[in-house]
Structure 1
């Protein structure tokens, strides 16, 4: 709660900056196409978090081989970049699962759409107090994200570990109200996704999204006390490159997708994430 005034100020400043940034990018692309000049085609891409090695690699490739200049616009939460994309302040985004985007569209009446798949980034349970989820005790508190898709995903993760049981009728979007068995009487603290890592000192464990965990200094494949398994049912949690529906067939955007979905990028993903993220574009086809 103490961070809200600061975040509000940051969001306002970012919005003002992005409005100019997105407009400039669109104008630059139009001018280059119209004149045939050698000026690079500029595209703004919204991401969440500071660590973006795969995109750094793709950006270099695009600039060298296609004269496309992609600027990363970094956000600290999962809602602001979708707002920016919906309002035309950025051109593309790459940070969210498809189910998260679908829920955003449903809640906001927007038309963001998938133009390419990127990675599966498993959700994890992390702790500064225990080294295994089996060490959780009666009445311990677990922090989980509070948005529809990530809260549901976090609870399904805990069910997979055997800690709780959920009402099957809730499908992929259960809430804490759908917990029908809780043998340890675990308590749940629902927080914004970018706050669950910060809550680690105050709770026994936190469910943290992969990118947020990396920014907090964790290596998911090594540090999670329980990590989401990757199975044939993981499709809703594939991360996507998103655009406005009207831009889905934009040739420049499709070129960006093509360069991301390459063997070179897959290698960078494997090395930079230390096996914590998995390319999924082949499985998604």
Structure 2
């Protein structure tokens, strides 16, 4: 009988031990399921991403938004490991940045496409632009090229016919003798007190409270516009990260498409299903 009691005690101790181990294991599994992802964005995009934070929380993913006010820092922060992903650039910008910085940043999903617009404080129509007027365009190589192409679309200048990125040196015809000045993209909207017109990126215009309907010219979106689709990006070594892919999936929904339309007053279009 005493032997039986001893055996019972041993069994009870063993069961208690394994129960505690199992509970600890479950706790560790639960903790390991909670992932934190740091995403770098530009300006007013936070209003698009905030609803996604709540959605991902239910999946055990904590999305931390880090805001930037320039186009130069987010990729550096990504490569240094300060960020896990970012969402501020288009394919053209990413490829150019990789080339200039020997980077290995890649896209893991499309977000939206936003036409550049031309704004003015003094003109109601782009045809009113006078000879010798001052014109501001973004200065980073990708947007300088794009801004110049917008001016060409509008019939103001002619450019060299080449596929590589264009600069102001590639203007071949400037009948109005426009004084085209590249500025940091974030400053283009603020320059409107000093220039006749400015080519402004959509997120910059949004932050500066410029109404899309007040633009005097809008970039035409064609099949050639695909390189200007904005993306979620990460480093090449993380391109297959399952958690990052869940972030992209949570973004690419009809609810997000509606939010993009709402936040940007209909001026920006969800790109993952866009028909070019």
Q: TM-score range by the shorter chain?
A: 0.7 to 0.9
Alpha-carbon distance, 1:50 to partner: 3.4
* Residue pairs, 1:80-99, within 5 angstroms: 80-99=73-92
Q: Quick check: 1:77 aligned with 2:75?
A: no
Alpha-carbon distance, 1:192 to partner: 1.0
Identify the residue that residue 116 of structure 1 maps to in structure 2. 109
Identify the residue that residue 205 of structure 1 maps to in structure 2. 197
Identify the residue that residue 265 of structure 1 maps to in structure 2. 256
Distance in 1, matches of 2:45 and 2:85, equals: 18
Identify the residue that residue 223 of structure 1 maps to in structure 2. 214
CA RMSD between the two structures: 1.9
Q: What secondary structure does 2:75 align onto?
A: helix
Distance in 1, matches of 2:114 and 2:143, equals: 13
Identify the residue that residue 183 of structure 2 maps to in structure 1. 191
Summarize deviations over 1:174-216 as a string: whole Å, max 9, x none.
1111111111111111111111111111111111111000000
Identify the residue that residue 146 of structure 1 maps to in structure 2. 139
Distance in 2, matches of 1:63 and 1:218, equals: 33
The two structures have a TM-score, normalised by structure 2, of 0.87
Q: What secondary structure does 1:274 align onto?
A: coil
| Aligned partner of 2:235 among 236, 244, 247 | 244
Identify the residue that residue 226 of structure 2 maps to in structure 1. 235
Summarize deviations over 1:28-54 as a string: whole Å, max 9, x none.
xxxx99743277311110011134222
Summarize deviations over 1:199-258 as a string: whole Å, max 9, x none.
1111111111110000000132x1211111111111010000000110001000000001
Identify the residue that residue 166 of structure 2 maps to in structure 1. 174
> Does the Cα contact within 8 Å between 1:219 and 1:276 map onto a contact in 2?
no
Distance in 2, matches of 1:209 and 1:223, equals: 14
Change (3 A) 1:284 1:94: farther
Q: What secondary structure does 1:96 align onto?
A: coil
Change (3 A) 1:255 1:33: farther
Summarize deviations over 1:91-136 as a string: whole Å, max 9, x none.
1100111100111100111101000000001111111111211110
For structure 1, the residue ranges without an aligned partner over 5 or more in a row are: 1-31
Summarize deviations over 1:52-81 as a string: whole Å, max 9, x none.
2221121121113x1211111000100101
Distance in 1, matches of 2:249 and 2:228, equals: 21
> Does the Cα contact within 8 Å between 2:118 and 2:200 map onto a contact in 1?
yes
| Aligned partner of 2:56 among 50, 54, 62 | 62
Distance in 2, matches of 1:167 and 1:110, equals: 28
Identify the residue that residue 25 of structure 1 maps to in structure 2. none
Q: Rg: which structure is higher?
A: 2
Identify the residue that residue 206 of structure 2 maps to in structure 1. 214
How many correspondences in the alignment?
251
Distance in 2, matches of 1:284 and 1:114, equals: 19
**Runs of 4+ residues deviating >3 angstroms:** 32-36
Q: What secondary structure does 2:88 align onto?
A: strand
